[in-house]
Amino acid sequence: MSSTPHFSREIGEIAPLVLMPGDPRRAEHIARNRLDGAQLVSDVRGIGTWTGTLDGVPVTVTASGMGVPSMSIYATELFSRHGVRRICRVGTCGAFSPRVHVRDVVIASAAHTDSSVATVAVPGVTLSLAPTFDMLAAAVAQARRGSDRAVHVGSVFTSDYFYHPRTDITPELSKLGTLAVEMEAAGLYAAAARNNAEALAVLTVSDHILDHSADLTATERETMFEDALEIAVAALLARE
């Protein structure tokens, strides 16, 4: 397999299992602190990509950037051109459910979206974008074994807007049981579906949209996700 526009094959190999935060700094933090023998294998456009092992299994860590378009580019290239079978997004989200709080963990069992990624594939059909069952089941099992933070399983809203022009969307979604808003899960789930691959999003709540709870700092966003990371690792290594 050759290089693609956003990943170089000249330095090293990308593993079939990928942990994917949005932030390149968070990707580097995970690689250096969680992978054994982490080696930089690509750095196209400043997006560092590291491959090492987790529990003896080859794993790559790289970033998706922000938003569905960026996630779609990276996930599609990884799935279709680099032999990746499974991606677990480890990111942040903004809660709007009254039962979810800052620093809680959300496992995204579905991703509603205002992005065209849900409608462009099949004319006249809005896709139900969901994760892979084995990954979801492993993540839930890991969460139930014990976590220092509350863990919620349910739908999230993947928005095309960070600063959304409408203020009525999140209260209505909350009434339907949606837990939080973020910007990448639907893009990942759609890319996995198109490529017959596997995916899951595990998210740390960085702020609360409705009660305006204090945001995580930039430093906390890089480091305060250990519980979510352990859940994501369990999902990534499920049945390996």
Catalytic positions are 207
3-state SS string over the chain?
A: CCCECCECCCCCCCCCEEEECCCHHHHHHHHHHHCEEEEEEECHHHCCEEEEEECCEEEEECCCCCCHHHHHHHHHHHHHHCCCCEEEEEEEEEECCCCCCCCCEEEEEEEEECCHHHCCCCCCCCCCCCCCHHHHHHHHHHHHCCCCCCEEEEEEEECCCCCCCCCCHHHHHHHCCCCEEECCHHHHHHHHHHCCCEEEEEEEEEEECCCCCCCCCHHHHHHCCHHHHHHHHHHHCCCC
Q: CB neighbours (10 Å) of residue 162? A: 10
